[in-house]
A and B are shown apart, each in its own frame.
Chain A
Amino acid sequence: DVKVTQSSRYLVKRTGEKVFLECVQDMDHENMFWYRQDPGLGLRLIYFSYDVKMKEKGDIPEGYSVSREKKERFSLILESASTNQTSMYLCASSLSTTGGYNEQFFGPGTRLTVL
């Protein structure tokens, strides 16, 4: 059974703190993604990675960085959290695309509140 896990379901941090969100998948997927979900805006891609130590900016990378040291783990880092980063953060993984559509599997999400 496929599984994407995220380190925390709920997180409360203060403005200016450094925040780490961890994501682990057990499906040996090459691709991993970080999204944030906000009301009225849907899911927006922050960063993605096609392989270990590779990363690509998504649509809204400002204020975030990522790290992928191992294939199964993809971390999202908020260097200095701000209140406008209060959101639901979703991690996903998928196999590499070789034709056809490879489903992205999502974790349960982390609800981050920045005070």
Chain B
Amino acid sequence: DQQVKQNSPSLSVQEGRISILNCDYTNSMFDYFLWYKKYPAEGPTFLISISSIKDKNEDGRFTVFLNKSAKHLSLHIVPSQPGDSAVYFCAARGSYGKLTFGQGTILTVHP
């Protein structure tokens, strides 16, 4: 039972345009949602988080939106840069601080 889902395995975007990565979840008890970024041959690195009591959090080019009624979150990257090309994982925090990850979306930003 996949509690956190990223339905798009890949996304291709032109440099300078907006990248929108999506994530759906089923467990309404999750209290934090976050995005991690992973380059090949490296471990994931934390990108941005949002509390379940908020609907938006912004950090530079990265903005995360949370729609609790739809159980949906999204990551917007504006403007996209070639260095943003990586695998992006959304994750949700549940009981005992455990993280549940989505399957990942491969983002490719073309120059």
Contacts and interface: CB of A to CB of B under 8 A. Distances in A.
- What is the interface residue range for chain A against chain B? 20 to 34
B111 interface: no
Contacts, number: 58
Nearest to A109: B43
Given A56-B96, A101-B32, A101-B93, A43 B43 contact: no
A108 B43 CA distance: 4
A31 B43 contact: no
A90 B38 CA distance: 12
Counting chain A CB atoms within 10 Å of each CB, the highest count among B32, B43, B101 belongs to: B43
A33 B101 CA distance: 13
A45 interface: yes
Given A44-B101, A45-B99, A108-B41, 19 more contacts: A9-B41, A35-B101, A40-B9, A40-B103, A42-B101, A43-B89, A43-B101, A45-B98, A48-B96, A48-B98, A50-B96, A90-B43, A94-B97, A101-B49, A103-B49, A106-B36, A106-B43, A106-B44, A106-B45
Interface of A: 4, 9, 31, 33, 35, 40-45, 48, 50, 56, 58-59, 90, 92, 94, 97, 100-109
Interface of B: 4, 6, 9, 32, 34, 36, 41-46, 49, 51, 89, 91, 93, 96-104
